[in-house]
């Protein structure tokens, strides 16, 4: 099979991903073999390619927003029919027996493996995965438009949950890329006001086109304090800025698998029971909840398509905010 693999992580400008030929993955008894049709491209793939994450193995094939067709099943696999469409996300496997898994916190499992990081991912024509970690996707979405739901959507939804946003409240979104443009649509369905902070003119216009209540830069002050906020940029300097705009009792969720250091901040920024939370991966329950919401409120994903061979270019464009929405690789028909 063809795949885009990074052997030695480097800045994306040096195009570290190389096209290789590799054997189609073998199956364990509970695995399914998925022929990849599309795979989304996200900031985590950029971190993997540039070497920012200590949990990655190299060489590795990135990609964890995978949409494909079940082509083969292991002898004990029964959940997904051959020929059915499934999605594969960042959480590739967990131990199912540690205290975290037993408490329904499998996203914190010490023995978890992650697609496109500790296990080869979807920048390839095939992937093998335990059937319990593959999902049926809403039929209304095309392969390309479904791909961003599997990370941008999932991690955005978990961030929204951890922000404890209530219907009718005010939400701040710091950064406006693939994940934020999905979160905004959920918040609007909950009758919430949405305040978007981004330096990119293109992203500002995108937020306005989706009906944001207010749009500005991270250094602008919104007309009202926020009940909840989510930061998406992997930049620690945004955290004190977001806190400054939180109302008393507000919650800030940091949506980042990698973040530069958070600068010191005065205690008064955190006082009045404001809360900062990191968002660490997602659970399979998150996925089931989110896909149901996506179908009910008809979330729209804006995408920019690239062929598999242009994965380096897609990541470089992502790094430099050259498009709105999400990049998606078309891997096969």
Residue 44 CA, chain-centre distance (Å), reads 8
**What pTM, to 2 d.p., does this model score?**
0.94
Interval 180-205: pLDDT, tens: 999 999 999 999 999 999 999 999 99
Six-digit token string for 242: 């977001």
Name the nearest CA neighbour of 282 among 59, 122, 143, 87: 87
Instruction: Give the Cα separation of 188 and 206 in Å (integer).
Output: 15
DSSP E strand stretches across 232-283: 246-254, 275-278
Q: Which two tokens stand for residue 288?
A: 């089931």
Report the candidate in 14, 32, 88, 19 with the shortest Cα–Cα distance to residue 59. 19
**Is the domain 2-151+281-330 a CATH 3.40.109.10 member?**
no
Distance CA 274, CA 290 (A): 26
The pLDDT of residue 66: 98
Ranges of beta strands (E only) in 27-176 are 31-41, 66-73, 85-88, 91-93, 113-114, 126-130, 134-136, 170-174
Contact between 114 and 92 under an 8 Å Cβ cutoff? The reply is yes
The CA distance from 48 to 58, in Å, is 9
* Cα–Cα dist 187/153, whole Å: 13
φ and ψ of 304, to 5 deg: -125, 125
Q: Give the pLDDT of residue 188.
A: 96
Taking 70 as the pLDDT cut, the residues of the chain under it are none
Structure confidence at residue 333 (pLDDT): 79
* Cα gap 181→215, rounded to integer Å: 13
Domain ranges in the chain are 2-151+281-330, 154-278
Q: Which fold has domain 154-278?
A: Rossmann fold (3.40.50)
pLDDT at 54: 87
pLDDT (0 to 100) of residue 55? 84
Residue 22, classed as helix, strand or coil, is coil
Neighbours of 107 (CB within 10 A): 20
pLDDT for residue 305: 97
CA distance 42 to 40: 7
């Amino acid at each position: 099979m063809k795949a885009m693999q990074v052997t030695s992580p480097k800045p994306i400008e040096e195009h570290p991903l190389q096209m290789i030929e590799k054997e189609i993955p073998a199956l364990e008894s509970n695995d399914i073999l998925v022929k990849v049709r599309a795979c989304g491209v996200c900031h985590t793939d950029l971190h993997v390619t540039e070497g920012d994450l200590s949990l990655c193995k190299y060489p590795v094939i990135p990609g964890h927003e995978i949409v494909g067709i079940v082509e083969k099943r292991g002898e004990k696999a029964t959940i997904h029919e051959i020929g059915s469409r499934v999605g594969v996300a960042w959480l590739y496997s967990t131990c199912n027996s540690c205290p975290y898994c037993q408490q329904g916190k499998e996203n914190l499992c010490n023995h978890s493996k992650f697609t496109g990081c500790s296990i080869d991912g979807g920048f390839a024509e095939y992937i093998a995965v335990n059937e319990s970690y593959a999902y049926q996707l809403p039929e209304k979405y095309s392969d390309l438009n479904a791909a961003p739901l599997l990370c941008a959507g999932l991690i955005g939804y978990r961030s929204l949950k951890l922000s404890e946003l209530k219907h009718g409240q005010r939400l701040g979104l710091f950064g406006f890329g693939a994940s934020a443009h999905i979160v905004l649509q959920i918040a609007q369905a909950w009758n919430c006001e949405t305040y978007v902070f981004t330096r990119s003119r293109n992203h500002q216009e995108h937020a306005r086109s989706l009906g944001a209540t207010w749009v500005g830069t991270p250094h602008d002050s919104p007309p009202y304090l926020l009940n909840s906020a989510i930061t998406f940029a992997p930049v620690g300097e945004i955290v004190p800025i977001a806190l400054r705009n939180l109302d008393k009792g507000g919650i800030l969720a940091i949506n980042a698998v990698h973040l530069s250091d958070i600068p010191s901040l005065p205690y008064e920024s955190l006082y009045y029971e404001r809360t900062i939370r990191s968002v660490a991966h997602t659970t399979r329950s998150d996925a089931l909840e989110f896909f149901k919401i996506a179908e009910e409120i008809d979330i729209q994903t804006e995408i920019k398509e690239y062929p598999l061979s242009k994965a380096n270019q897609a990541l470089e464009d992502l790094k430099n905010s050259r498009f709105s929405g999400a990049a998606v690789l078309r891997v096969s028909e």
